[in-house]
Chains A and B, each alone.
Chain A
């Protein structure tokens, strides 16, 4: 199978969903989501057999831009994450009915298309185009199908859009500057440039602005909580599960290899910002009364740790970061799904209005418990593998970084378990709470199965990503 076929499947799927009408749209979208997943499995097996999958074709002669896609272990891992989560997200949304659902599901698939493109692109400008394209669908998903007060929601999404666009436009300027030097936008040429350290400093900053806003890192995180809260849960899942991984992935793929000297000089600062996010996110999460907002801040803490791991510039750091990206993607989708399941029954997101669900809904309670434990990196879950590797890499740089990073586990355990206690336990609630439906249960079970499977046996993923991460590290160290 060709790698472009995968992108075409998603794009065609998006169109087909739109034209299939409101009634059939969810099913058509799910079908195409599953097809894309099968496609990426197929790519994976081809990649493992050693078949070259890179794709390149000249697109625009002047300026020199090509439609170039690169398939290495890292890209495949991210692609698998995207295409595995998309069907789960679509399937889990079957419990809700959306007005004008044909546009809704078409936008979801279009966003998956753009995100997959971002992970695959190896031409800087093509990558930028996909990066921007993925912004449009989520903007509309949050704006049109979001919840809460319309005025507040509008403010939140516009802020989100302007923030991210601002960041990425500076990245575009950096790319154009690099193009003047290299004569092409291909990553192959860009990572071979011998830039002076001043040039690298500014380029690093321009990239950093784009990625720090997307990930988000402190102090660029102010858009996040509101958008997560106001977007429909599907949008929140797409944002937190996949889209913010675009920022983290880009750090590893583009920022570090292009500006390694600056990355080394600014290492303490970037790690510090990541860790500041860990502590800040955890502390703010402690005080949240809204379930979705609490999860948003916990997500801020986790991605802060992942970013800190990538900026260590060690193999362990990068590897842990990628593992944790995948693990976090799954767990956060699961947690937001639980929040949605509760909302479907109680129509509230306020933690104080929940409680006493356990007796009525044992299945949901146990699955939620597992997800909570996974999110606080209980050994034998996938998150443990990732988080532990990242902490180990931080300790190699400076033991205090690891200590600070470790607070994410302690504080995380505290606020997550406290939240669990308030939401699920306590005296049995007078309001009736139906246990999970088949649809909800299946989505959660798949997520939990993935978390446990790779928690006990992470070798396949580690084997998949390590060679490409080693490649990236050779590029990073080319100045030594």
Chain B
């Protein structure tokens, strides 16, 4: 190993990156764009569900119920209609996901102490969203109903008469139950996987395509020096991109950061080593920038997205797939990122993840070094 030669390669890479506006744009913009894309694109929260209401009574009581829908952030009362057909048409056309029909005898039945039913029509094309809409609708109606019952009991002089059991829940880690807080740390991990592998997947393939490889390997520079000289500048860029993504998660998406920066740094260093070695390896094998970048994107994105537990819980996967997820490096980084962001888990609890990433880093660096030969065949 000669530091002199390694620095010569690294300096050349830096000059090339800085001189090419496209590669600069990729370095800076790609993580930002991906963060926005995934950050807003993947949102499991229900907000502003377009709602149509057919109020067949228009009494103070029914207005009161409607007001509850209006004030809820889960629903957006797009329109009130005066016939059933219009409401059905709105759901058919996709203008509404929820239709609420209040019966004409709503207030009369309430006064009489009878049971009243409010009809809810839910578009459950997406069953998950449908369930959520139904759940929130029920909770609004239940809340209203409780208020009505308390009034009624008070009037009967029987307050405190009806015992009830309820769950006193304390929600930990993600107190507002916002899916973004749960998703964004995982998105940072996925963006780093994609960006890291993509950047390095171009390095060797570019030399082959431009014809500069032949001259480079005719010099005494060793394959390890070529690899390190090329990866070190991208590694620094990768750390910069990690900082950008983490900053966006905290400042833009408002995800709490409770853990230690040191753990984040160590974990990210190991994970970047993994994905960048993977990208380099692909670049050596593919020899074409187009093929290399595509393989790099697919081979990092798909496993990181589907099998890391970022969105889909690993515990709920079929057993063989659960076993398979153990060889997905992103799995450990996603776990680590979620823990570092939301739980503030001390790194002593994360040694499984750190150790796993360390093993992957070692294996892939070895693989990448071994794959690159200074031969034209």
Q: Do A and B associate with each other? A: no
